[in-house]
Amino acid sequence: MASFSRFDDMRMIRMKIDEKAHDLFKEKPGQAPLTVTRIFKSDERNTKPFEKNREVLGLSDTKRLQNASNEVTQIFTINQDRSWTTLNTSREAFEGFMSTYKIMPLFWRYMFTFGRKSEENEFDFPGFGQRWTKDPSSNSSTQGSSEFAYMLRRVELKNREVLGGDSLWSIRQTAVYNRLQCKSNICGISDNEQSSLILPECRSTFLLVSPSENVELQFAECLEQATEAEESPLSIWNTHRILISDSLRGWMEYMAYLEQRLKHQSDEIIVATVGTDKVNFSPLTDFKIDFEDRQELKIIEDLVLDLQVILPNILDAITGVRDQCTKYLTSFSHGIEAQYEMEAILGELNEYAKEVAMLIERAKNLKDKAKSTAQLLSDLLSYEENSRSMSNSLKERSTKDAAAVKILTVITLVYLPTTIVANFFSTQFVQTTSDGQMRVSNKVWLLAAISVPLTFFTILLWWGWVHFTKLEPAVDPEQPGIVTLQRAHSFRSIVSTKKKQRDLESGLTSPKAPTFRHATTAPTWASDATTIKAE
């Protein structure tokens, strides 16, 4: 039976490699492009069952490692100084490694998520990918190589000074590749007999791109403890367990941080003063929320939306690893200790899957809260803008009215002297004789005696009217949103009060009479009289 391989579009992959290689690879002087941790077979131990962080300096070194027969696990590592910079390896070294170990081309999709970029989520992150290749020299369906890869996203506190408004956390990623080759030295036995009688002879190859420092420390600690206890050091599935566990350790704190930022914005909106005790044309003069707060909420919304992309990908990786571990456990027989360890790891992976599912639900709730807060803020900003627009419109109208009154006043002042003179000469105090001469009556002093006191009385009446009355806002019961200014204790209000009293005494009410449930901030004589009758 021919081996199955993925039909990859190598031409398109090669074009994308050429496009991104400049921002993806850059070998650092004095630093090896690859490092490897080797775990040897238990029956060939010399001093230590492993070799940690050996430098791989070239293609010849890579080929020697690939041909080594005394190793159970090889863990290759490519490091990265910062999550937004190039990988510390060259394109030639990486392509040589992929060619030597026959890594599936699908893994390039995971590599494209690294390199120089301007945003944490600038690229699409692929989900769990796998490929199975059967060993053509064997008739067993369980012999061959299984490849799978996945991307883990983790969140860590930044190791640099954070400017005001920036996030304290940084989202980073680790690409994981694992090739598992299993075979048996016994031929002519059915698959069922092999799975029940033969322990698997497997070799595992890992490639970790940009693992965290915590993962490397856990690997080292696990290897040292296994050596002291004379146990099998760092099994295949324990390696995956450590990687997944490390990727989940910061998400709860990160989401609590986002909730705190969102709550801060929400509290500012809730406690903001909208309007004052006195109704005016600018009801948001004490409002402290501005467009910068809307921008802050937009940033939080984007971070929450990123969670809804990242967390499902992590869940997909966990379930993929769990399925591979279950398949490996059921396909072969294992020793009691190994089987117990794998069952414990499967139980832990199930717990991790539940934790991520809970984080996904929490992210949905956080998204809804951010959306409602942003909507409230947008409504308040729109209300403020409409209020300012209304105020500006009223000011513009008042300015136009004032200009019109000013023009009329100027015109009146121009014609007033002429009008006064014309009116004076048209009175009986000035007469024209038969010979055409003009004669002024000796009673002309009566004009001044009457007009001067009358003018004085008119000015006094105007001053008293203005001094003893004031403008107060009034709300129309039928249109509560419209505020008008009226003079309290005016002649019109007195007449209106008497009319309402007569209507109430006769049992008749006006169809447009205000209801008693409306309370005004500044009661007039009319409202007082109505209240007395209502009691």
Q: Verify that 262 and 215 share a domain, yes or no.
A: no
Q: Verify that 149 and 215 share a domain, yes or no.
A: yes
Tokens representing 442 are 């000796």
- What is the reported pLDDT for 99? 92
- What is the reported pLDDT for 8? 63
Count of positions (residues) in the chain: 535
> Rounded to whole angstroms, how far apart are CA atoms 200 and 331?
9
Any domain includes 404: no
Per-residue tens of pLDDT for the chain, all 535 residues: 334 445 567 888 889 899 999 999 998 888 889 999 988 876 554 567 888 889 998 899 999 998 887 888 999 999 998 888 899 999 999 999 999 999 999 899 999 999 888 776 666 788 999 988 766 555 555 567 889 999 999 999 887 776 666 778 889 999 999 998 876 543 333 444 444 444 456 789 999 999 999 999 999 888 888 766 566 678 899 999 999 999 999 999 999 999 988 888 787 777 665 544 444 444 444 446 666 777 788 888 888 889 999 999 999 999 999 999 998 888 766 668 778 888 999 999 999 999 999 999 999 999 898 888 878 777 776 776 777 777 777 788 888 888 888 898 889 888 888 888 888 788 888 888 878 788 888 888 888 888 889 888 989 988 888 777 766 666 666 655 555 555 555 555 555 555 555 554 555 444 444 444 444 444 433 333 333 333 3
- What is the reported pLDDT for 518? 40
Tokens representing 400 are 């136009």
Q: Verify that 36 and 162 share a domain, yes or no.
A: yes
- Provide the CB-side half-sphere exposure for 172 (13 A, CA): 24
Split into its structural domains, the chain has a count of 4
Q: DSSP letter at 490?
A: -
Q: Domain range spanning residue 446? A: 427-468
Residue 21 identity? A
Q: Verify that 190 and 274 share a domain, yes or no.
A: no
* Domain finish residue from 468, 490, 520: 468
Any domain includes 411: no
* Domain finish residue from 192, 208, 234: 234
Q: Verify that 178 and 275 share a domain, yes or no.
A: no
Q: Verify that 475 and 463 share a domain, yes or no.
A: no
Residue 273 identity? T
Q: Verify that 128 and 185 share a domain, yes or no.
A: yes
Any domain includes 220: yes
Any domain includes 210: yes
Do 255 and 362 form a contact (C-beta atoms < 8 A)?
Answer: yes
Any domain includes 419: no
User: pTM to 2 decimals?
Assistant: 0.68
Q: Verify that 45 and 159 share a domain, yes or no.
A: yes
Q: Verify that 452 and 478 share a domain, yes or no.
A: no
Q: Verify that 180 and 263 share a domain, yes or no.
A: no
Tokens representing 316 are 């997909």
Which residues is 131 bridged to in the sheet?
147
> Rounded to whole angstroms, how far apart are CA atoms 321 and 312?
14
Q: Verify that 273 and 377 share a domain, yes or no.
A: yes
> Rounded to whole angstroms, how far apart are CA atoms 433 and 431?
7
- What is the reported pLDDT for 376? 78
> How far apart are the two ends of the chain, measured CA to CA in Å?
101
Any domain includes 244: no
Q: Is 478 helix (H, G, I), strand (E, B) or coil?
A: coil
> Rounded to whole angstroms, how far apart are CA atoms 417 and 99?
108
Q: Verify that 105 and 222 share a domain, yes or no.
A: yes
Any domain includes 422: no
- For residue 394, the tally of other CB atoms under 10 A from its CB is 11
Give the residue carrying structure tokens 């050596």.
227
Tokens representing 291 are 């467009």
* Domain finish residue from 176, 205, 234: 234
- What is the reported pLDDT for 238? 92
Do 209 and 78 form a contact (C-beta atoms < 8 A)?
Answer: yes
Any domain includes 421: no
> Rounded to whole angstroms, how far apart are CA atoms 23 and 19?
9
